[in-house]
Amino acid sequence: MVAFTAKRLGVALLVALTVSLITFSMIFVSGDPAVAIAGEGARAEDVDAIRKFYGFDRPIPVQYADWLTGALKGDLGRSYTLRQPVADVIASRLPVTLALGASAILFALVLAIPLGVVAAVRPNSFIDRFALLVAVVGQAMPSFWFALTLILWLGVYWRLLPITGSDHWQNFVMPAIALGYYVTPAVMRLTRAGVLEVLSSDYIRTARAKGLRPAKVLFKHALRNAIIPVVSLAAVQFGFMLGGSIVIETIFQINGLGYLAWESIQRKDLPVMQAIVLVLSVIYVLLTLAADLLNAALDPRLRTS
Amino acid sequence: MAQTTLPGLHIIDGIAAPTPGALLRQRILRHWGLLSGGLILAAIVAMAIFAPLLAPHDPYDQDLARKLIPPVWHLSAKASWTYPLGTDHLGRDYLSRLLYGSRISLLIGFSAMLISGVIGTTLGVLAGYFGGRVDTAVNFIVTTRLAMPVVLVALAVVSLVGSSLTVVIWVLGLLLWDRFAVVMRSATQQVRSREFIVAAQAVGCSTPRILLAEVAPNVLNHLIVIATLEMAQAILLEAALSFLGLGVQPPTPSWGLMVSEAKGLMFFDPWLIAIPGIALFLLVLSINMLGDGLRDVTAPENRG
């Protein structure tokens, strides 16, 4: 387990480093960053001053090393437009996005796990077909369109929920549904497949042969094993969702990282964009690392691969 | 043995066992998801190809005098068959824009899928066939790619480079190859250890020849399934980018852009977002159904 942990940690670190390199090189995608900040038609002296101020005149490896060591110390540079350190802006917005992501994954699990279990216990039943429908629809519906449809019905026609904002828990209900619905199909399919597989295994047959009640067999014996891969999938999907929340946060005007990303993209505020990509990637790397280690701890067979 | 005495049984002698091709055709015809997905997709493709013939008006023709005419099923005096799906906020015929919009979705979805398919398949087949260090390297590249938030990176790059149809296609193509790589890798691993590969190696076939002539035909069914799923993914992402204003630029009719342009008006004229939204849903649904169906009929053991 120690060797496995060390190896996984090393890979995670390397991935994070590579991501930071790619993120850093975003500066050069648009050409000269100093010109981009100064705006078109700026005087050459101004562009030079900006180049000096932000340090774009130094060799690129030096700039990268500087940016990376700063990032490791929690200094992500200064925003071009907000006149504030990027780290402060991100720290104030990240909790909102984490809360949204957590409510979304909660919604997805509460919907997907029971449906998946029932679908596996009663294959080809009405519930199984309904679960399939939920999955198929969820995979095909554009997220922004689903969000607008929710606003129209729950917010305007039925007046059940507030449409925009992020001050009250009620503000998070619709965004959580809109965001979480996309994770539902994957979680449900995995739950169904896992429970189906476990239910046909020998130890379940033994448990049934002993005369245990079906509910006890299902909840105490079957679900316990079938749920492990679902937990790690949920961790990975949580990471994906934080990245995907930009669409949902923009629609509901939730003051989180996604909305910040959209604002900074509009203003071409590169340090903020870079920092958000980096922060979300690192969160994803940590989540997958945690899921892998958890799986390996629970199932020793996984440690060899 | 004597001729059977049971009446009618001799007919059985004349029936040969069904060929694999016949069995496949039978499975296709019995798979309603595959058939209906294929039919809807064929209809949308036909719509895209024949858009100039089918569209009743010019999709770019604006006239504020006839803006926001509701569709024909709407109980309004303004609704008419001249504009079956009504007009948008600039008075452009919604049906014509919808028809031309299918071209954008299909074009972007298909081209992005081709680019990502080439990248992902190359990486996946190399990793699966050679294993060892190549495999480790490819795994690392895939892991790194998965750690990057797709929507965010796509938006950022498009905004920095400047938005155009070509840029959107390339950005999506360069971002969405991960599933190709993962699936092609495991499919190739399964094929690699089979006898006919060992035989080809023993005969002295070159590696490119083995990859193209022996490996490729045996992983093709997986490739087609992933291709459909990734095309659907690319179409949804294009719509999201266009919705956020960083994909296809106005006045080009894109379904995502149509929803975006109508979102301010949706409280009064909800059909404006309903129509392009449903079109997107049907397109992605049909592609997914086709992909799932193809997986079922070509490799029934992989059913999820």
3-state secondary structure of B249: coil
DSSP string, A266-299: HTT-HHHHHHHHHHHHHHHHHHHHHHHHHHHHH-
Residue A171 has which token pair? 């503000």
- Other CB atoms within a 10 A radius of the CB of residue A225 amount to 17
Tell me, what's the pLDDT at B303? 45
Cα angle value A186/A192/A198 (rounded, 5°): 130
Helical residues (DSSP H) of chain B, grouped into ranges = 20-30, 32-49, 51-54, 94-130, 132-147, 150-161, 165-175, 178-192, 195-203, 207-209, 216-243, 255-262, 271-298
- Residues B108-125 have a mean pLDDT of 95
**How far B99 CA sits from the closest chain A CA (Å)?**
19
Element (H, E) at A233: helix A223-252
Across the A:B interface, residue pairs with CB atoms under 8 Å apart total 127
Which residue from A19, A152, A262 is facing B148, i.e. has the nearest CB?
A: A19
Query: Which of B40, B44, B152, B182 would best serve as a mutation to test chain A binding (most A beta carbons within 10 A)?
Result: B152
Inter-chain contact A144–B243, Cβ cutoff 8 Å? yes
Q: pTM of the predicted model, to two decimals? A: 0.88
Q: Are A228 and A195 in contact (CB under 8 A)?
A: no
pLDDT band at B1 (very low <50, low <70, confident <90, very high): very low
Q: What is the pLDDT of residue B7?
A: 54
A265·B243 Cβ contact <8 A:
no
∠ Cα A148 A154 A157 (to 5°):
95
Q: What percent of chain A has pLDDT over 70?
A: 98
Three-class DSSP category at A220? helix
**Whole-number Å distance between alpha carbons of B234 and B165:** 13
A292/A95 Cα distance (integer angstroms): 25
Indicate the DSSP class of residue B263: G
Interface test with A, best of B44, B138, B159 (most A CBs within 10 A): B159
* pLDDT at residue B300 tops 70: no
Give the separation between CA A116 and CA A190, rounded to whole angstroms: 8
Q: What is the per-residue DSSP string for A160-197?
A: -S--S-SSSGGGGHHHHHHHHTTTHHHHHHHHHHHHHH
Residue B290 CA from chain centroid, whole number:
9
Neighboring chain A residues of B36 at a CB cutoff of 8 Å: none
Residue B2 has pLDDT above 60, yes or no: no
Q: SS3 of A7, please?
A: helix
**For residues A100, A105, A106 and A110, what is the CA-based torsion angle, rounded to 10 degrees?**
150
Residue B3 has pLDDT above 60, yes or no: no
Residues of B in contact with A240 (CB under 8 A): 149
pLDDT at A34: 77
| pLDDT tens for each residue of A182-231 | 889 889 988 998 888 888 888 888 888 888 888 888 887 888 788 888 88
Q: Which residues of B touch A131 (CB under 8 A)?
A: none
Is residue A168 over pLDDT 80?
A: no
Average pLDDT (B6-33) is 70
Q: In this predicted model, what pLDDT tens digit does every residue of B163-188 receive, in sequence order? A: 889 999 999 999 999 999 999 999 99
Distance from CA of A210 to the nearest CA of B (A): 31
Q: Is the dihedral of CA B238, B241, B242, B246 positive or negative?
A: negative
Radius of gyration of chain B (CA): 25
* Chain A contact present for B268, CB below 8 A: no
Q: Which residue would you say has higher pLDDT here, A162 or B166?
A: B166
Per-residue pLDDT tens over the stretch A9-43: 999 999 999 999 888 888 777 677 777 777 777 78
pLDDT digits (tens, 9 = 90+) for B50-104: 989 988 888 888 888 888 888 888 777 777 888 888 888 888 888 999 999 999 9
Q: What is the DSSP letter of B92?
A: -
Q: Which residue has the higher pLDDT, B213 or B4?
A: B213
